[in-house]
Amino acid sequence: MTIERADIEKLAELARIEINEATIAETTQSIADVLALVDQLQAADTEGVEPMAHPMDAIQRLRTDEVTESNHRDDFQAIAPATEAGLYLVPKVID
């Protein structure tokens, strides 16, 4: 599978990462190289093999539905870029 500059631009948009114009050619090439490495997987015979997500095939633990956390809002907001009245501030979304 080949990957082109337009694909990288689309991925960068999806991942919300600004890619600098000066490095986009190099980024495209290096990702193409990595995907060529990854393409070796296609040769593997995986017919009937169950995909593996967890080494121990463990499943999510359940716990009782009770409050275990205390309120840390002030601590969390102290390290935020912009807050006001207990809320996180971001650029205006709706006009």
Partner 1 sequence: MHNKTIAEIIAGLDAGDFTSVEITQHYLKRIQQLDSTYNSYITVNEETALAQAEAADKRRAEGNTPAFCGVPIAHKDIFCTNGIRTSCGSKMLDNFVPPYDATVVENFADAGAVILGKTNMDEFAMGSSNETSFYGPVKNPWDTNTVPGGSSGGSAAAIAAHLTPGATATDTGGSIRQPAALCGITGLKPTYGRVSRWGMIAFASSLDQGGPMARTAEDCALMLNVMASFDPKDSTSIDRDVPDYTANLSQPLNGLKVGVPQEYFEEGLNPGTEQAVRNALTEFEKQGATLVNISLPHTKLSVPAYYVIAPAEASANLSRFDGVRYGHRCENPKDLRDMYMRTRGEGFGDEVKRRILIGAYCLSAGYYDAYYRKAQQVRRLIKQDFVDAFEKVDVIMGPTSPSPAFEFGAKGNDPVAMYLEDIYTIATNLAGLPGMSVPCGFVDNKPVGLQIIGNYFDESRMLNVAHQFQQATNWHQQAPKDIEVEGVE
The footprint of partner 1 (CB under 8 A) covers 1, 3, 7-8, 11-12, 14-20, 23, 27, 30-31, 33-42, 44, 46, 49-56, 58, 60-61, 63, 72, 75-76, 78-82, 88, 90-93
In whole angstroms, how close is the CB of 82 to partner 1 at the nearest point?
8
Q: Report how far residue 58's alpha carbon sits from residue 53's, in angstroms, rounded to the nearest whole number.
A: 9
Contacts of 31 (CB under 8 A, 6+ apart): 3, 8
In whole angstroms, how close is the CB of 91 to partner 1 at the nearest point?
5
Q: Which helix (H) or strand (E) holds 77?
A: helix 73-78
